[in-house]
Structure 1
Amino acid sequence: MKKQNLFPSIVLIGFGLYFFLQQTNFQIGFPIFIWPTVLFIVGLALLIQSYSSKDFEMIVPSILLLGLGVHFHFVQNTNIQLDHIGVIILFIALGYFLRYQKTKNGLFYFWLFLILALIQLFYDKFMEWFGVFEDKSLNFTSLWPIILIIAGAYLFFFRRK
């Protein structure tokens, strides 16, 4: 049986609903006719496509796009400000976890991205919990890019299959 490519049909249905509701001035209490909705529609279409075609490698980018759509809707409609990079890394971790559930591959990357996301999101709280007072001349946040580059280079050169 031929695998059906649902992505284009779901994107067209999603965009059609988006423009139809926009023309009818549909309101649900918060603005939905903004750019994060497009990320949400594309992410949802990719997620449905990846599960229906059993192409589980697409779960990570689909969760990332879906999550970014939800995140930016949330940020624009509340006064809660989250670190965007930490949230992006958290969605990548969630994508690897969902992919791991289907393929039993990628658990290491789930934990790696989850730890990085938690550090990024709660760095100040971690320092308070451990009773560390930072020396402003050299702190973890100044080393953060170097740590990420080294971790990425290690994964690229030594952990490839």
Structure 2
Amino acid sequence: MKNRQLFPGIVLIGFGAYFFMEKSEIELLEKFYTWPTLLLIVGIAFLCQGYLTREHDAILPGTILTGLGGHFHIAGNVQSWPPDTGTFMAIIALGFLLRYQKTGNGLFHGLLFLAVAILLIFTEQVDALFGQTGSSMTLVWKFWPAILLAIGAWLVFAKRR
């Protein structure tokens, strides 16, 4: 299905349905008349573009936008939902891993973001574990943001062969 008009078509259909339902004032769907729903619509359009037209570079932004839209809908309604920063990293990791599944590129990035997400989501448990294992691990835990900065700088500035 090589339809280059798929993305804008899905966005227009989604936005049209969104505004139609909003004008119809359907009370059952009232909590979905928010900006995260618009993120979901654009994200789903990117995912359709990525999977249906085999333009796999659209999978990463589609996953991120769909994930963020879903996160903001769920976070307000589920108390046990993980904190924002860790969830954002997990969504990005999922995007890289889904793109890797189709292209073979991005596994390192996906695993790196997944490791950061796990650290952020389970901060209290990791902190308690490091507190019990000794001062060397506590030192690593204390400076892990600097480690992320170093890895990011290496990814941006290191010359590739």
Per the normalisation by structure 1, the TM-score is: 0.85
**One-letter identity of the residue aligned with 1:13:** I
Using the TM superposition, give the Cα deviation of residue 94 of structure 1 relative to its aligned residue in structure 2, in angstroms.
0.4
1:11-30 aligned within 5 A: 11-28=11-28
**Range moving further from structure 2, 19-28 or 118-127:** 19-28
Matching residue's letter, 1:108:
F
* 1:30/1:77 contact within 8 Å kept: no
CA RMSD of aligned residues (A): 2.6
Counterpart residue number, 1:46: 46
CA deviation after TM superposition for structure 1 residue 152, in Å: 0.7
Q: Which amino acid aligns with 1:94?
A: L
How far apart are residue 77 of structure 1 and its match? 2.1
One-letter code aligned to 2:54? K
Alpha-carbon distance between aligned partners in 2 of 1:106 and 1:148, rounded to the nearest angstrom = 17
Equivalent residue, structure 1, for 2:36: 36
After superposing the two structures, state which structure 1 stretch, 31-40 or 126-135, moved more: 126-135
Distance 1:96 1:159, change over 3 A: farther
**Where does 1:53-132 land on structure 2 (aligned, <5 Å)?**
53-80=53-80, 82-132=82-132
Report the Cα distance in structure 2 between the residues aligned to 1:89 and 1:159, rounded to whole angstroms: 26
Gaps of 5+ in 2: none
Counterpart in the other structure of 1:158 = 158
CA–CA distance in structure 1, aligned partners of residues 39 and 141 of structure 2? 29
Q: Counterpart of 1:8 in 2: which secondary structure?
A: helix
Gaps of 5+ in 1: none
For 2:99, the aligned partner's letter is: R
Distance 1:131 1:142, change over 3 A: closer
Shift, 1:122, TM fit: 0.6
Percent identity of the aligned residues? 42
Q: CA deviation at 1:27?
A: 3.6
Tell me the amino acid that sits aligned with residue 101 of structure 2: Q
Q: What count of residue pairs does the alignment treat as equivalent?
A: 159
Give the structure-2-normalised TM-score.
0.85
SS at match of 1:31: helix
| Counterpart AA for 2:97 | F
Shift of residue 142 of structure 1?
Answer: 5.5
Q: 1-10 or 98-107, which moves further after superposition? A: 1-10
Match of 1:149 in 2: 149
Q: Provide closer, same or farther for how the CA distance between residues 21 and 153 of structure 1 changes in structure 2, counting only shifts above 3 A.
A: same
Q: What is the DSSP-based 3-state SS (H/G/I as helix, E as strand, rest coil) of the residue aligned with 1:132?
A: helix
CA distance in 2, matches of 1:134, 1:22: 56
The structure whose residues are more often helix, as a share, is: 2
